Structure formats: C-alpha cells, structure tokens
Amino acid sequence: MAQDQEQKVERTLVLLKPDALVRGFAGKIVTRFEDAALKIVGVKMKQMDAEFTRRHYFDLEERLGSEVYEFTARFMQQGPVIALVLEGFDAIATVRKIVGSTYPNEAPAGTIRGDFSHYSRGASVASGKAVANLVHASGNAEEAQQEVELWFDKDELHDYRTLAEIFTY
C-alpha cells in the first residue's frame, strides 16, 4: 500500500506571474496551495529574459501563433515572477483545480483566477495584451517534469516532512 501512495506523489511547477506580484497576491496564492496540503519543495524569484521566456514557452508560438507568443513574452518579462515547485498527492490536478480556468472570467469562484481576476480572452484581443491570469501551472506530468528541470537545479529542491504528511498520509 505504501508503494501505491508514493507513486501518486507528484511535483509540479507554479509561476506567480508579474500581475500577481504587483497586485500583492503572492502570499494569498501560496496560502491556497498550502491549505490544500501541497508542500513547497522549491522557490525562487526570477526576471525572465527573452531567451529564458522562449525556453519556457517553447511550443506556444507553434500552438497558438506568434501574436499570442509575443503578448505572453512581453507580459512575462515586465516584472519578476516567483517560481514554486509544489509536491503532494495528485499535485498537478490539484494545482490546476485550485488555479481555475485559463480565462479568469470563466474560472469559478473559489479558484485563484476566479477570485482575484476577471480578464477575458475578448479583453486580451481588444487590448492587444496577454491574459492577466496571475499564475502558470504545469498542465500534465511531462510538462511538469520539463518545467521543474528548466527552472530548478536538483540541489534547489528539498525533501522534508510536513505536519499534513505526518497526520494525513
């Protein structure tokens, strides 16, 4: 049984985007993850330059076009971001549920995007700006692994036990 439980523990990347920082939501957002018994195993603040942005969003231009890539790149480079590696049972799906839909106006109340933003795809197109949606969260296990490896060296990730792990797992 312990082996099955260990297989469900995942790590995922979350970025608190420049809009989250300038609006003063970093602490509130991190609290949401900790309240869900997700453990922070890595954290850093970084200003994304053009080369690093390209590495992080390596397939965005191919998937959604150059205009979307350019909006996103400008948005992500306008200020620092906080990168977190979170760990826990089904961490990837749990984080995505806490974060909410990509478009904040479609995200339900109770999610980060639903509670702290209202920006829409239409507003993005009309303004020529990226969707200000506060956070990035890895979409699946493969993406999580790639993103964690891009953002963090192995010695920047930490293993420890939280009270949530001791009492609930």
Q: What is the CATH number of the domain that holds 84?
A: 3.30.70.141
**Domain assignment of residue 33, given as a range:** 2-168
Q: How many domains does the chain have?
A: 1
Examine the pLDDT at 165 and tell me if it is beyond 90: no
pTM of the full predicted structure? 0.91
In sign, the C-alpha dihedral spanning 128, 134, 139, 150 is positive
The predicted pLDDT at position 7 comes to: 56
Q: What is the pLDDT of residues 16-68, one digit of tens each?
A: 999 999 999 999 999 999 999 999 999 999 999 999 999 999 999 999 889 88
Query: At what angle are helices 26-35 and 91-99 packed, to 10 degrees?
Result: 130
d(CA 128, CA 114): 22
> Which residues are catalytic, by number?
136
